């Protein structure tokens, strides 16, 4: 099931790059979870929370917020589920370019 995200033409390339970079980040999340390195999971989640909406992905901001909280609490299962949500979002999101510029 594709998730369509509408992005103004002037931000389309940045949005695509941001989404592509999350694929690389997923490998880090998975590694840190295997190592139970919740500090690094929380750090990456904090960055995702702060940047997601700026690039047109408020869903990632929400997941990043939840993941940061779960990591700080050391909740491995919750963290793993949230990382899967990030993976699903990244794999199933299609960027739709719309006319106009970001405000």
What are the domain boundaries of the chain? Answer: 3-98
Confidence of residue 99 (pLDDT cuts 50, 70, 90): confident
The stretch 46-74 carries a mean pLDDT of: 96
The stretch 56-65 carries a mean pLDDT of: 96
User: Structurally, what CATH architecture does the domain formed by 3-98 represent?
Assistant: Up-down Bundle (1.20)
- R_g of the chain, CA atoms, integer Å: 14
In the Cβ-directed half-sphere of 98, how many Cα atoms lie within 13 Å? 10
Give the SS3 label for residue 95: strand
Average pLDDT score over the chain: 94
pTM passes above 0.85: yes
């Amino acid at each position: 099931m594709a998730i369509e995200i509408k992005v103004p033409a002037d931000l389309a390339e940045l949005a695509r790059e941001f989404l592509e970079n999350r694929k690389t980040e997923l490998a880090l999340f998975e590694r840190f979870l295997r190592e139970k390195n919740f500090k690094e999971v929380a750090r990456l989640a904090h960055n995702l929370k702060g940047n997601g909406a700026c690039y047109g992905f408020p869903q990632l901001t929400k997941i990043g917020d939840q993941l940061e909280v779960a990591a700080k609490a050391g909740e491995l299962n919750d963290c793993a589920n949230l990382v899967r949500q990030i993976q699903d979002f990244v794999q199933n999101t299609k960027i739709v370019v719309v006319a106009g510029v970001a405000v």
